[in-house]
Structures are given as structure tokens and as C-alpha cells.
Amino acid sequence: MKRILFLIAIFQLTISSAQDLYLQCGNIVDTETGKVLKEKTIVVSGNKIKSIQNGFTSGSGDDQVIDLKSKTVLPGFIDMHVHIEGESSPSRYLERFTKNPADVALQATVYAERTLMAGFTTVRDLGGSGVNIALRNAINKGIVKGPRIFTAGKTIASTGGHGDPTNGMREDLRGDPGPKEGVVNSPEDAKKAVRQRYKDGSDCIKITATGGVMSVAKNGQNPQFTIEEIKAITATAKDYGFLTAAHAHGDEGMRRAVLGGIKTIEHGTLMSEETMDLMVQHNTYLVPTISAGKAAAKMADIPGYLPPVVAKKAREIGPVSQVTFGKAFKKGVPIAFGTDAGVSPHGENGKEFGFMHEAGMPIMKTIQAATTTNAELLGMKNELGQLKAGFLADIVAVDEDPTKNVATLEKAIFVMKEGVVYKE
């Protein structure tokens, strides 16, 4: 009798798993053509899109229907620059000494879920303590809710550089971190650091090619790698199949990163027109992170929120990012979508669409930057970034047509990732 009941249960489970979801959509955004299509039904089977049908269809009696007839439906958004482990606060610099890895991990699960609920079903995490790798694995196993994560693990920097984890510490705590910790000072060090990231389980490589705003170091824009070191990183990264990214505010460090073979320049704040031309020539992408620039500038105006050395840099560099992005876009620099969430609040990633549009980028192109462009950069162009048969069922919906009101992209009212509904 028990065996019969077991077989019945298995049979019912099989029938249930075979059910399809029919998403009846008032509008869908075709990110491949840049058009908004009316009255379509997306059929989801398992974790993939099975088909897209004209009109509102509902399948058989066993299939589930989700009514999105008054909504606009898009592919899940992709943010190419987040720091999922933390978020800016007045206590953030102290927390380096008070939080255990378990504390960081538990807080990161909150940021991950907040990001997913905002409609960002995929992110590239560009540097943390290494907890980001464990978080990615936990999400992949279904232990916690969050976006699909491609993570750099720990950033690669030079001694005293923007990504040196011991910046700002007293002398007896600083030590002499090396490639394992993400600090390099030669091409040989650089190669070892990339291979260590591979060993750790990273998905991509992030370097800090110039000084930065949020680190406790004086200069926010000086070059911090030689071209030879950068070339050693990119050549080794190519051997291991890693996409490379370079944090860069200052122009000279940016120029070296482009010539050294880095694929995406993060921030690009003080980029010259000559470097813009170089990026066009080398097909190097700018990830503008306007959200972070605006957030840093606001924090600098709050007394005591940032250390004085950081606040000074934030006032100088933060307000420039949107202006530079507008010039780079007009120059024809390839653009990818990224926010640097963690500096700006997690879950507010969608504001970047509006900031990019304010600077002169058409709304549809901002959407394509966060979908088809980013999917291609991640090597997922046949799986992510489009609502198309055979693609993973990463699907979001918003209340209005975003091509008429970009602000609607700030609030996803429906979120599906790989066929699982997380927000409805």
C-alpha cells in the first residue's frame, strides 16, 4: 500500500511539474528590436520560455495563468556593478573590525533579496571579502533568494591602492598583504592573483586601476597599475575565461586599462575625449555607475557620515559622473548598465535608467544596456536579456510603458527568475 501511495505521489509531482505558466502581457519589450509589442502571452515551461504567442492565451486546464494584461513586461534586468556584501553607512568603516564573516553573509542575503525584488535577476559583484562567492553558491542552490551572481571575489589592487583591504588601519594591523589578499606589485604577482581568484571560485576579475572615492586613501584618481601589470592580468584572465573590469576615475589609469586589454571601465568619471576615442577603437565598455556618484556626493554633505579624506573626494568626483557619461555616449563609447549598488542603496538599482536618460541616452537604449548588452558581456547572450523562446525565464513587469515614463523601471511589480515567481 505504501508503495502504491508513493507511486501516486510521484505521478502527481510529475504532472505538476509539467504544467506551464501563461503570462498574459499587455505590452512586452522586445529588447532585440527595441520595440514595444502589444497583447502577447509568454509561455513558461520549467525554467525557460517555451514560446511567445499573439493575443491572450491560456493553454489547457492544468496550466496556470498570470494576468499582466495591464502591465509592461521585460526581461530580467542585469546590473554589471554591485557590491552585494555591504551598503554605505556612517558605521561602515568601523564594521571592518567588528563584523565576522557570518555577520557579513547574513546581511548580504538581505541585500540580495532586495536586489531581486527590484527586478534585477542577474548581477556582477565586483569585489568583497570572499563571502560573495558563498552567497552566489547559496543562491544557486536555492538556500536564499537573490539574483544570479557573477562575482569577482576579492578585488585586485596595488599596495595602498583603492582595493588594498588594509587602507586606513593602524600600522600593526596593516601587515603586507599579497596576491592572495588581492594586492599585487609586479606582473608575476598579477598572474598569481588571477590564478588565486580562479582557485577561490570567482567568475570574473576586477582591478582598481586608479584611486577611488570610498577608500581611506588620499588620492581618488591617480594611476595605480603599470601597463605591464594590467597586461599580465588580462592575458592570464583570458586563459581562465574571465571577463575583466577596471575601477577607474582618473584618465591616465583608464587609458592604461584600455591599452592593457580590460573589457569594462567602471565609473570613468574623469575620462578625456582622447580616452573615449580609445575605448571606441578597442570596443571597451563604460559602466557609468551614476547612482554611486550621486549617492557619494549626498553622503559628503552629511556631517560625520564619511571620514574627512573620503568626503573630500566624494565632493570632487561624485557630481562629475553623469556629465562624463553623457559625453561618452554621444562619442559612441559602448555602454553597459551598472550602478555600484552598495555605495548607493541596494534595491534602488532602477534609478540608474533615469539618470542615464537625463544625460541623453534614449530610454530603450538604457533598457538594452541592462539586458542584451550585459548578457553578451557575460557570455549569456543566448540565455539572458531577451523574452524569447529557449531563453531562461527571467521576467519582470512594471506598471507603465517605460518608453513613455522611465521612472516606472524603478519599481518592478512582478519578478520571475528561471520560471520561479518571487514577486507578484
**Amino acid found at 413:** I
Cα dist from 158 to 209, 316, 386, whole Å? 9, 23, 39
- The pTM assigned to this predicted structure is 0.92
The conformation of residue 306, written as its DSSP 8-state character, comes to S
**Per-residue cell: 73:** 513586461
Q: Is the pLDDT of residue 18 over 90?
A: no
Confirm if 137 and 105 have CB atoms less than 8 A apart.
Answer: no
Task: Tell me how far apart the alpha carbons of residues 230 and 234 are, in angstroms, rounded to a whole number.
Answer: 6
In 3D space, the residue among 33, 38, 105, 104 whose CA is nearest the CA of residue 71 turns out to be 38
Separation of alpha carbons 338 and 344, rounded Å: 11
Determine the 3-state secondary structure of 53 from DSSP. strand
| 219: its cell numbers | 588620492
pLDDT tens per residue, range 296-328: 989 888 898 888 888 888 888 888 999 999 999
pLDDT at 3: 52
Q: Is there a contact between 253 and 229 (Cβ–Cβ < 8 Å)? A: no
283: number of CA atoms within 13 Å, CB side? 2
Given the C-alpha cell 543566448, which residue does it identify?
Answer: 382
Q: What is the arithmetic mean of pLDDT over 223-236?
A: 97
User: What is the distance between the alpha carbons of residues 7 and 94, in angstroms, rounded to a whole number?
Assistant: 57
C-alpha 381/C-alpha 367 separation (Å) is 15
127 phi/psi in degrees, rounded to 5: 120, 130
Angle at 249 between CA 162 and CA 337, to 5 degrees: 105
For the cut 50, the answer to whether the pLDDT of residue 14 exceeds it is no
Q: Rounded mean pLDDT of the chain?
A: 93
- Beta partners for 267? 248
392 residue type, one letter = L
What does the pLDDT average to over 223-235? 97
| Residue pLDDT, tens place only, 63-76 | 999 999 999 999 99
| Model confidence at 400: pLDDT above 70 | yes
Q: Whole-angstrom Cα distance, residue 75 to residue 38?
A: 15
The pLDDT-based confidence of 175 (bands split at 50, 70, 90) is: confident
More confident residue, 3 or 222: 222
Strand pairing of 64-75 and 395-398? Answer: antiparallel
Please report the pLDDT score of residue 4 as a whole number.
47
The closest alpha carbon to 158, from 192, 120, 185, belongs to: 185
What is the H or E stretch that residue 78 is in? strand 77-82
Number of helices and strands in the chain (H, E) = 15, 16
Query: What DSSP line would sit under 363-421, residue for residue?
Result: HHHHHHIIIIIHHHHTT-TTTSSS--TTSB--EEEESS-TTT-GGGGG--SEEEETTEE
* CA-to-CA dists, residue 284 to 149, 206, 333, angstroms: 22, 15, 8
Residue bearing cell 609586479: 186
pLDDT at 118 over 50: yes
Write the burial class of residue 310 (CB in 10 Å: 0-12 exposed, 13-18 middle, 19+ buried). Answer: buried
Instruction: Look up residue 95 and give its amino acid.
Output: E
The proportion of the chain whose per-residue pLDDT surpasses 90, expressed as a percent, equals 79
User: C-alpha grid cell for residue 43?
Assistant: 509561455
